[in-house]
Amino acid sequence: MQTQFKTGLVWFRRDLRPHDNAALSAAVASCDTVHCVFVFDREILDTLPRTDRRVEFIRESLVELDSSLRDLAGKPHAGLIVKHGWAVEDIPALALELGVDALFAARDYEPQALVRDASVRSALETHQISMTLVKDHVIFEDREVLTQTGKPYGVFTPYKRAWLARLGDVPPRTHSIATHVSSLAERPSHYAVPVPSLDSLEFVPSNLKQLHIKPGVSGANALLDDFWERMDDYDQTRNFPSVKGPSYLGVHLRFGTVSIRHLVGLALQRQLQGSEGAAVWLSELAWRDFYFQILSNFPHVATGGYKREYDRIEWEQGEHAQALFQAWCDGMTGYPLVDAAMAQLNQTGYMHNRLRMVAGSFLVKHLGLDWHWGERYFAGKLNDFDLAANNGGWQWVSSSGCDAQPYFRIFNPVTQSEKFDGQGKFIKRYLPQLGLLDAKSIHAPWLAKPAALTAAGVVLGRDYPSPIVDHAVARATTLQRYAVIRKEDQTSVSEEQ
């Protein structure tokens, strides 16, 4: 079959795998010869601290990807070309150097990426080089799932029903390269060292290995094999941070070392066999698509509230607000579940989903701080940071987002702790100074009997802080703060337990 282009270039971004890769599949099917590139983009990297697990994760994943591409091609010098520079300059320059006719990449939906891709497209067009962007990172994108009136959904439950109906009972179609691997090209000789060292990127090793976070497709497959044995229990275990309930695949989905189509296909298979755990996990994957389509169709969420009226809320400011924020960041609020959650984030780059809600709600509705502050902090810390999901989660806890919790639902961190970490196992893991407290006292040490504190060797203010805010006072203040946009009748006020 005659191909469309003589030479093509695949630009890997957040799809770091060779199999079921939409851009790679499109390229090898359309071109006689295909080169592959990844750019460590300084527009992103220069803003990061010199120790960043995500950069290390990407770098190690690229080593594996390069090896896999060489094996597939059966050519010793095939594989990746890896650049460290400015993508908007390096991609067009490389396309000219290689004499390519077409560039292929997976579509990205974030505002910064849209600007970048538009610039690259413009530069390529001046040299009559085509640019093809394909859907890879989601099941349904942009306006593929719409209401009966042709509008994007703003509420998850009806979106999920429509998403599932469109998905049907057949796993999503995957993308194969098997019949076209011979088109994968060898690298030019001056790209003999494909993946630069972490040091040459001006980064230093993190604790990625100590955390046993294995990058690449092999890391994703190991986690998936483990979760496959636990998937049926997901609905029962997912809310308890001391239990091995989640899949822990977030970072692999973020960088595309696993295919979303593969995961949805597996979840669908188990759901059709009657697994409630698989059904709930499939719903979580639908949430992921939901937030991506929100970002695409309502781009103002990247800078403000989905519900624009919530931008009128006046948050705490000044030195006191900064001090409260720092205490939250450092896990020194005096509320053990919140502080343990922040310790988990700071030490590992991961936070359990239930705790993301609890810690986020505490920042906004106990400390009265702008949700943007928490969004930025999570963006800098989370291994699996994804703008769409992170933004959606923070707007959910602040009540400003689509399908968000009502303003008057304020998580009580003590009751949340008692309900989801009843024996304090999670708290004790990340706050070892509270390790000898009994199961009742550990959720609210300031309410513990002096004898219990003495027996545990805990002195409040020395070993662990007293609460920086009172829950009841903070709740009343939040209800007043939200009065500027409140429409519901005051009698509807209730508290999330």
Q: Find, among 159, 6, 11, the residue nearest to 82 by Cα.
A: 11
| Known catalytic residue at 353 | yes
Q: Which of 11, 371, 373, 396 is catalytic?
A: 371
Respond yes or no: is residue 371 known to be catalytic. yes
Q: What is the CA angle 355-352-263, rounded to 5?
A: 140
Active site residue 284: yes
Residue 446 annotated to the active site: no
- The neighbour count for residue 460, using CB atoms within 10 Å, is 14
Active site residue 315: yes
Q: Which of 239, 297, 346, 353 is catalytic?
A: 353
11 counts as catalytic: no
Burial of 197 (0-12, 13-18, 19+ CB in 10 A): exposed
The catalytically annotated residue of 394, 396, 412, 418 is: 394
Catalytic residue among 284, 316, 346, 446: 284
d(CA 335, CA 341): 10
Q: Which of 11, 287, 328, 396 is catalytic?
A: 287
- Hey, which residues are catalytic here? 284, 287, 315, 353, 371, 394
